[in-house]
Structure 1
Amino acid sequence: MDGRAKECEEDLKRLRRNRGLCLARADQIGAALRDACGVNDEDTPAQVVDKVSAAVRRHAAALGSEQRLAALTALGLDGPRTRFLRDRQRWLSEQLDRNFRTAQRRIDEGFAELASLLTAANAPTAARSGAAWRTERLRVLLALDQQQPEAFLFRQVVANTAELEEIELAVTLTSSGASGRENDVSVDVFSGGTLVHRRRESQDRIGLALRLPEPLRQGQRHEIALRLRVAEMLPHYVCVPESSCEEFDLTVRFGARLPRSVSLLEKVFQNDVSDDSVTGKPLDPDASGEVRVRFRQLEPGFAYGIRWEGCPQEPR
């Protein structure tokens, strides 16, 4: 185990005291564990705890069944959320049908493996893969109750290089038009850069190059705001990240004219987005005719979003 993983393991051991991670304060989470879970200086205390908890749960899934249960129980993320670690260890020994000392060893084993996984999958993964930047958060507001479908995209990016001057990205609004003309999709930059290049990569995919107001240093964050409009669109909206994306928030406003059904698309193959046999969790629009979904730690190459079916209903 390298030094970073060892420091991360020690942070996990300190967190298991008392009530564990589920009720921990942000200042109780060590620097090594924060780094391994992608925490940044701009995160609120609640976001720090949420990020660390989510990362621990995600990587614990790769552990053996006993080590996974042991690590999560010790941190208060599984089993009884009792105040004292000894009570959680006692519960763990009963679940594993092992004595108390063996349960303790399983916790230590789980922490050692978990620390290695966390540090190996640290946020700089995108940098190691050669990506000049990564998406920390993407927020999309899609309005379908306008004369034309209209989407606002707010993307917070993080530089992975020493001096990032330009960002290349692609945007899609799943236009249903068959003409393939360049002006089928309009793109406006509202803030965060200057559009210096645009090209059509496919019928519904536009490649953009934005020059930033000033170069970003490695690790520096920057937000870009775009607006997209098309004449009409296919009945879905998804994000298919090319590199790491930590969070994707999507709000779709249908307004008074609702589709017959709305379903969640989470980690599906891009070619299956329009496949009726691929079904997800049903979603219900709220009283304003809106659907909101949130995804965390998106895997590159997979689609995340929603799909709707049927003709819209008459206004309620």
Structure 2
Amino acid sequence: MSGRAELVQELKTLRKGRGLLGKVEERVGPVLRSACEVTEDDGLVAIRNKVSGRLTELASHLPDDLRLAALAAFAICAEARQPLYQDRVRWAAVKVDRDPRTVRRRVDEAIDLLAELATGSLRSPSPGPASGQWHTVSLSVAMVLDQPQPSVLEHRRIIADQDGLRSLDLAVSLPAGRRDLDVTVFHGGTLLDRGMEATDRWGYGLELPRALSRGESWEFTVLFRLASPSALRPYMVCVPRHACEVFDLRVRFGAEGPAEVRALEGAFQRDVSDPGYRGRRHPVDSAGEVHMRFRGLTPGLAYGARWTPDVTQAGRA
């Protein structure tokens, strides 16, 4: 999603001087305002509370050292509310027993990850006046890899968060792009081709047969079929754009399954394909299948399964 680079710059501006104790109404940029749901009517106290609360929530997903560096950099941590950024860096350096230069690097790393989390959770508006907001109650994905054409069956139940919801924005990532993907809507709406959002991410939508009212639920099922196993990567993960309560994943490898499968729960997107990020080992049953269930997914983070590279299949929901 666009805006990440801009948000990184806005956060680097915000950390200067007194951080969140300064004139935040002048230093909180448009992307950060959107991520923190700051409105034009909000005053100094409201802006500070919204930004502080949002950054604290996002920082809770970071490793301990990066979380401390971030909270100190923005003067969110009460013990680090010194008037200058360099003073807060020195305070954090003492806390983690590292030199200030190392802490500055960790602050930069933390800001980059905070921007990734924040922009991953911003809602992507649908075009036109009938756009709406929604969240996922349950997402069930069944992936079959022991066939000449790998298939992914997705069943999702959503709830409209406002009146007039007429379409849903969705996306799927593939190394080969849209040309190797055949999509069939079993029920629940009409497929909308949004085109390639990135080199490996195809955006699609579902036009609903009627408008939904706030609080109303809707279900749909979509089948994705790929030309060959080479069109997949050795993982299947969900990176929700909107809140997702439950993600149920089943992957069938068949008789010739992988040597090892790892569960990824709340991983950064960059970690999904990073062999250095291990995840939790998950058993493969006698039928060559794995079953995982995740609850309370955080938008922008990855949840799912990754298997050893000798299985040359992959995908992303």
Q: TM-score of the superposition, structure 1-length normalised?
A: 0.54
Alignment of 1:246-265 (within 5 A): 246-265=245-264
Check conservation: 1:171, 1:205, Cα contact below 8 A.
yes
Does 2:189 correspond to 1:193?
yes
Distance 1:156 1:164 in 2: 14
Conserved? CA contact 1:131–1:243, under 8 Å:
no
TM-score by length of 2: 0.54
Structure 1 Cα separation of the partners of residues 163 and 194 of structure 2: 25
Gaps of 5+ in 2: 1-59, 61-121, 124-130, 313-317
Equivalent AA in structure 1 for residue 224 of structure 2: L
**Radius of gyration: which is bigger?**
1
- Pairs within 5 Å for 1:153-192: 153-172=154-173, 174-175=174-175, 177=176, 180=177, 182-192=178-188
Aligned partners of 1:262, 1:247: CA distance in 2, in Å?
21
**Cα separation, 2, equivalents of 1:287 and 1:202:** 38
266-275 vs 190-199, which deviates more?
A: 190-199
C-alpha distance in 2 between matches for 1:312 and 1:303: 20
Per-residue Cα deviation, 1:32-73 (whole angstroms, up to 9, x for no partner):
xxxxxxxxxxxxxxxxxxxxxxxxxxxxx9xxxxxxxxxxxx
Instruction: Please tell me the residue identity of whatever aligns with 1:293.
Output: M
CA contact (8 A) 2:132 2:165 kept: no
CA RMSD of aligned residues (A): 2.7
**Per-residue CA shift, 1:64-111, capped at 9, x if unaligned?**
xxxxxxxxxxxxxxxxxxxxxxxxxxxxxxxxxxxxxxxxxxxxxxxx
Measured in 1, the distance between the counterparts of 2:271 and 2:310 equals 21
The one-character-per-residue Cα deviations of 1:233-286 (angstroms, maximum 9, x if unpaired) are 110010001121000000000010111111110101001101111011111111
CA contact (8 A) 1:138 1:155 kept: yes
Contact 1:260/1:310 (<8 A) preserved: no
Quote the offset at 1:311 in angstroms: 2.2
What corresponds to 2:147 in structure 1? 146
Aligned to 1:300: 299
Deviations 1:99-145 (A, max 9, x none): xxxxxxxxxxxxxxxxxxxxxxxxxx98xxx9611111110000001
Name the amino acid aligned to 2:206: L
* Kept in 2: contact 1:247–1:295 (CA 8 A): yes
Change (3 A) 1:240 1:150: same
Runs of 4+ that moved beyond 3 A? none
Unaligned runs of 5+ in 1: 1-60, 62-124
Change (3 A) 1:171 1:310: closer
